Amino acid sequence: GDSVTQMEGPVTLSEEAFLTINCTYTATGYPSLFWYVQYPGEGLQLLLKATKADDKGSNKGFEATYRKETTSFHLEKGSVQVSDSAVYFCALSDTMYSGGGADGLTFGKGTHLIIQP
């Protein structure tokens, strides 16, 4: 079955540091890949997505590139801020955008990011 593995947290960085959160996946087909963010006390929000190999998703200074050869979708940001402190989830869908119907997302366990001033 499908699965997503992401680095365990918490990850603690100083403000303006470079961020990488690793995510690798296992899927049967050509999945679409997502990063969701959960700020304290709020619901899950879509941060960025990529629907095919070599696509780069980007939003709010965050980027992730869909690497089919390494089955990875690592999240990066060049200079983090205190306001980026949150839990980040990598997720995939086997059928979204593929014409295969719809299915639930498969999520990783989440990575808690703490940015210190």
Partner 1 sequence: GAGVSQSPRYKVAKRGQDVALRCDPISGHVSLFWYQQALGQGPEFLTYFQNEAQLDKSGLPSDRFFAERPEGSVSTLKIQRTQQEDSAVYLCASSQVEREQFFGPGTRLTVL
Where is 44: in which H helix or E strand? strand 44-50
Q: Report in angstroms how near the CB of residue 98 gets to partner 1 at its nearest.
A: 8
Confirm or reject binding of residue 117 to partner 1 (CB under 8 A).
no
In the complex, what is the shortest distance from the CB of residue 30 to partner 1, in angstroms, rounded to a whole number? 14
**Using rule CB under 8 A, residue 49 touches partner 1:** yes
- Look at residues 26, 20, 19 and name the one whose alpha carbon lies nearest to residue 5: 26
Instruction: Please give the angle made by the CA atoms of 112, 115 and 117, to the nearest 5 degrees.
Output: 160
Binding test (CB under 8 A) with partner 1, winner from 29, 40, 101, 117? 101
Is 108 a binding residue for partner 1 by CB under 8 A? The answer is: yes
* Token duo for residue 15: 């403000």
Rounded to the nearest 10°, the torsion over CA 46, 51, 56, 58 is -20
Q: Does residue number 42 form part of the binding site for partner 1 (CB under 8 A)?
A: yes
Is 46 or 53 the residue whose CB approaches partner 1 more closely? Answer: 46
84 φ, ψ (degrees, to nearest 5): -80, -5
Q: Which residues of this chain interact with partner 1, rule CB under 8 A?
A: 4, 34, 36, 42-46, 49, 89, 91, 95-99, 101-110
